[in-house]
Structure 1
Amino acid sequence: MNKLVIKNEQETKEFGLKLADRLRPGSLVALIGDLGTGKTALTKYIAQGLGIQEAITSPTFTIVQEYHQGRLPLYHFDVYRVSDPDELFEIGYEEYFFGQGVSVVEWADLILELLPEEAIVIRIAYGSQEGERIYDIEGLEAAE
């Protein structure tokens, strides 16, 4: 596990853009963190790194939002309101997770049992300074 201290929004952007460069078809980024830790912000920068110009918002009520105009499709999941994994089966999550795009899953700790073994897992926590975040990252080598 790698630990990274992100001091501000600019560093979040730099990390998201670099991460996007390493993602390939079928990559999955699992984001875990409390409300307000920056899961959607990081997703926005991953999307930018994939060449997606569309505004990225959290798909809380739709579970997944698709973006197709980048170098790879982006499937942005927010599973905060998923009370039963069967809800993901109903929308065909496997086609997204194991397809030709990149999946980013917010609140991934709620569906850990459904994530592929090669998922990149980023646990985001508040840092000691205002605006600072601590990223604990697992599986990044899978994105190479």
Structure 2
Amino acid sequence: MSHSRHLTLTDLAATMALGDRLAAVLVAGDVVCLAGDLGAGKTTLARQVIARMCGIDDAPSPTYTIVQVYETDAAVALWHVDLYRIEAPGELEQLGLDDAFDDAITLIEWPERLEDDLPADRLEISIAITGAGVDTVREARITGFGSWESRVDEF
């Protein structure tokens, strides 16, 4: 079962505002899956959450390191995970994501690489680029699974 809603992100400010609203509701154990094509805005959204929760305005993308861990203002670890370079599910075992899923806030780019290992309780934000040129906007589909079903409308 799941609960979804859609948002139109007309510009960078709208994406940042979504990140601010998301940061305001995240707690230990929350998993947020960020899906979309290259350039859709996944990292921009994650960086805004990190800025709000950790006070780091220029967080690096974990494309090459795969995982970046931050301490939030609430003393909860925030994991920013980018699975783009993961080629086989066996590579995931070394990352320790199960521990993060239990105790940290986890933001995952390219979550489809986890295949069947996605936690049942998760928020999925899928971002698609629509339009072209000055008419380019992003459409975000926000879907809550498990405990997130009742929380989707919080932000």
| TM-score, L = length of structure 2 | 0.84
Of stretches 85-94 and 23-32 in structure 1, the one that deviates more from structure 2 is 85-94
| Equivalent residue number for residue 43 of structure 1 | 46
- Residue 28 of structure 1 deviates from its aligned partner by 0.7
Q: How big is the shift at 1:49?
A: 2.3
- Residues 45-54 or 101-110, more deviating: 45-54
Contact kept in structure 1, 2:19 and 2:46, CA below 8 Å? yes
Q: Which residue of 1 aligns with 2:20?
A: 17
Deviation of 1:142 after TM superposition, in Å, equals: 4.2
Q: Which runs of 5+ in 2 are unaligned?
A: none
Structure 2 counterpart of 1:91, from 92, 95, 108: 95
Equivalent position amino acid for 2:15 in 1 = T
Find the counterpart in structure 1 of residue 84 from structure 2: 80
Cα distance in 1 for residues equivalent to 2:33 and 2:91: 18
Name the residue aligned to 1:132.
137
- What is the TM-score normalised by the length of structure 1? 0.90
Q: Higher strand proportion, which one?
A: 2
Higher fraction of helix = 2
Out of 13-22 and 53-62, give the one that drifted further: 53-62
RMSD across aligned positions (CA): 1.7
For residue 121 of structure 1, what is the aligned residue in structure 2? 124
**Residue deviations 1:103-135, cap 9 Å, x none?**
000011221411111110011000225441100
Deviations 1:74-126 (A, max 9, x none): 10000011111221211211111222x21000011221411111110011000
Q: Is it true that 1:4 corresponds to 2:24 in the alignment?
A: no
> What is the rounded CA distance, in whole Å, between the counterparts of 2:18 and 2:115 in structure 1?
23
Aligned residues: 143
Q: Percent identity?
A: 32
